[in-house]
Amino acid sequence: MLIVGAKGMAQEILDILHNQNKTKDLVFFDDININDPDLLFDKFPIFRSISEVEEYFKNTDQKFSLGIGLPVPRKKFSNQFESLGGVLTKVISNSAIIGNYNTDIEAGVNIALNACISSSVHIKKGSFINAGCLIGHDTNIGEFSVICPSCNIGGYCDIGDLSFIGTGSIIYPNVKIGKNVSIAAGSIVRKNIPDNAIVHGNDGKVIKIKPAINC
C-alpha cells in the first residue's frame, strides 16, 4: 500500500497497519518536505515524484490510503492517484467499534483507534474518523470530511462533504452540517449549519462564511 503523506496522520495510519501486520511493500508519498530523509523511520521509502507512484501502482500494489488531515487535499489526491491507476482503500483500526447492522463504510475511509460507529451509519468515500470519536446511529458523514479526535456526533445527524470538525466538538442529535464547513475545536453545535460556514464556540456560532470550493 501507498500512504499519501508522511507526517502525523500518515504515521497514525502506519500504526494501524503495523498492528495488522500489513506493512509489506508499504511506501509513502511526500513531495512537500523534500529535504527530509527518504526513509520514514529508517525503513519505509518516501516517494517524491509522480513517476514513482505510477511505477508502484503498475508493478507492486494499486492500493493507496490518504494520510493527510484536510478535506480538500484529501479529495484532490484521491482524484489524482485514482487517475494514475490507484485504488483508494479504507484503513480501520482493530480497536474501532463498528455497528453490525446497516452500517456502510465506503472506499478510502480511515477510522482510528477507539472510535465508535453505531449501526445505520453511512460514512462516504475518503473521510477520516479520528481516535475516540463517537458517531451516533442513523448519521451520515459526507465525502472527504475529517472528524478530529474525541468528537461526539449525535444520532440522525448529517455532515456534508469536505467538512472539518475540530477536536472535542459536540454535534447535537438531528443537526445538519453543510458542505465545506469548518468547526473549531471544542465547539458545541445545537442547530443546523449552512454550507461554507466557519463555526466557533460553545454556542456553535457562525462567525464567517467562506467562499464555496470547486474541486
* Exposure b/e, 120-133, CB count within 10 A at least 16 = b: bbebbbbbbbbbbb
What's the confidence (pLDDT) of residue 77?
98
**Catalytic residue (choose from 18, 122, 137, 200):** 137
Look at residue 164 and tell me whether its pLDDT is greater than 90: yes
Report the CATH architecture of 2-89: 3-Layer(aba) Sandwich (3.40)
Q: What is the mean pLDDT of residues 125-153?
A: 99
* Closest CA relative to residue 195, chosen from 151, 130, 147, 145: 145
The answer to whether domain 92-209 has CATH 2.160.10.10 is yes
Q: Domain-by-domain residue ranges, the chain? A: 2-89, 92-209
Q: What is the pLDDT of residues 75-90, one digit of tens each?
A: 999 999 999 999 999 9
What's the confidence (pLDDT) of residue 161?
98
Backbone dihedral angles phi then psi of residue 79, each to the nearest 5 degrees? -60, -45
What's the confidence (pLDDT) of residue 137?
98
Q: For residues 47 and 38, what is the distance between their CA atoms, to the nearest angstrom?
A: 7
What's the confidence (pLDDT) of residue 215?
74
Please indicate if the annotation marks 30 as binding a ligand: yes
Is 122 labeled as catalytic in the residue annotation?
no
Please indicate if the annotation marks 38 as binding a ligand: no
* Closest CA relative to residue 213, chosen from 165, 179, 178, 177: 179
What's the confidence (pLDDT) of residue 214?
83
What's the confidence (pLDDT) of residue 27?
99
CA R_g for the chain: 17
Please indicate if the annotation marks 36 as binding a ligand: no
Q: What is the pLDDT of residues 8-65, one digit of tens each?
A: 999 999 999 999 999 999 999 999 999 999 999 999 999 999 999 999 999 999 999 9
What's the confidence (pLDDT) of residue 109?
99
